[in-house]
Structure 1
C-alpha cells in the first residue's frame, strides 16, 4: 500500500534541544491519523517537517513520494492548517476564496462556495469578525478546496467550544469521504480523536512511542489485576506499560508482544479504550521509574 508519509531516523534539533529524535514512520494512504502527545513532545516539529516548513537535522522524510515542499506541484498536493486556524482578519470570507483560487491551480470553486453556504458563512463578512468556530470552518474549507491528497491540522479545535469542535470534525469527515484524502490531525482532545481516527502516532519526549492502526493497537493492550508475586513472574511476551501497586494486588497495563496467553492468575483482563492506552504510554515516557522492571526499552511500530 502506498505510504503518504515515510520517515527513517527523522531527527530535528534546535541547538542542543531535541525537537524530534530518530522517528520511524510509515503511514498508508486513506487514513485519518491522530497525532497525540504532551506539550513539547514534538508534534508541531513533525508537522513542520511534513509540510516542509522546517528541514530535518538528520534522517529522511518523504511525503507523497517526494521531499516535502520539493516544488510547486508537491505543495499543491498538501493542505496545511496551523494552530489557531489563522485567517486574514481584514479580508472578507469571499476575499479568502478569491485568494485561494488565485494561488492554487487545483482550486475547486464549486466545493468552496457550497461549503461556505452549508456552514452559514456570509461571503461579505470580514474574517476578523467571525467566531472561533467560523474561522475554523473557513480555514478547513480553504485547505480542502485545494483538492489536496494530504490534509494536515495542528491543534485546529483546541480553542473551540464542544459544539464547534463537533461541527468541525463532522465537516472534516465529510471532506475525507468526498475527497478521499489522508488526514493528519494533531490534538490533545483524545475523545475527539477516538471518534474520527483510524491510525495513531503517539509522541512523548521527542520520540515516537507508539504508531499503527488504532484497532490493531487496542487489540494487544490489556488492563489486568493480580498479586504482586504474579507481577514479578509475568511471562515473556508481555511489556508492562504502567503499573499501580497496592498492598495485596497490582493493576497493570500490558501490551502483548508475543503469542503467549494471559496468565490465569490475572483476573478480569480488560481491553483499553484509546484514551487509557495513550495516557499509559505518556506516563511511561515522562516517568520511566513508574513502570515495572518488565518495561522494554524497544518501542515498536505496529503496521
Structure 2
C-alpha cells in the first residue's frame, strides 16, 4: 500500500464486543471531464503491480490534461491500460535522477491510448519515456516527444514487443551525460525485440556522437547509429509509416550512420512506408530504403 492510495474503512463484523475494522485500499478514480492527479497515476501503477491488472478510461476535457509526475522511474510488472477519452492526457515526467519515466519489466504489459509522454531525462541510462525489457508496450493515437536518454531517446525496446498505431515519436534526443556514442534518437530496438509501426511517424529526432577522448585514434571508433530508429538483432516492421527529418549530430573525429534507420543484423521490413530527409543519410547497415 502506498502513501498515495485512498483508504476506505468498512465495518465487517463485531467480535467479543470489539469492532473489527478492515482497511481496504481503493484506487482513486478520475471524475468525468476532469484531470487525474499524479497521485492517481501512481496509484494505478501500484495497483497493477500488486493485483495484476488495471484498466482505466479517463473522461478528459476536450482541452486535454497535463499531469506532472515527479517520482523516479515507474516500474510496470503487471498490466496497466490507460485510455483518455476526450482531449489528450499528457504525462509529463519531471525528475533529476536521469533514470527515465516508465520501465516495463518482463511479463509486464503497458497500453496507452490518446496519451502524450514527455519531459523524461534518462541521460545516464537507456530509454527516455519508456524502457521495455522483455515486456509488451502498445501505444495508440499517442505522442512521444521531448524526451532524452543515453540510447533510445523516446523508447528503448530490449527483447520486448512494441506496437505503435497512429502514433508519433518526435523531437526526442539520444545523448549521454558523459562522453558516449548514443544511438536511436527516437526508438532503440534490440536483443530479439519486435517493433511494429502502423500508420505512425518517427520524425525530427536526434542522436549525438561525442568525442570520448582527445586521442583521435580512439575517436575513430566512436560512432552513433540511427537518428530516428536503431535496430540491432531485432525485428522492425513499418507499414504505412514515415521516418523523416531525423539526424545524427557528430563532434569532430566521430562518425554517423543511418540518420533515418540503422540496421545491425535482424530484419527490417518497410511496407508502403517512406524514409526520407534524414541526415546524414536515410538508411544504413543492413537496411535498404
TM-score of the aligned structures, taking structure 2 as reference length: 0.26
Which structure exhibits the higher relative contact order, with contacts defined as CA atoms closer than 8 Å and separated by 6 or more residues? 1
Q: TM-score, normalised by structure 1?
A: 0.25
- Between Structure 1 and Structure 2, which shows a larger proportion of strand residues? 2
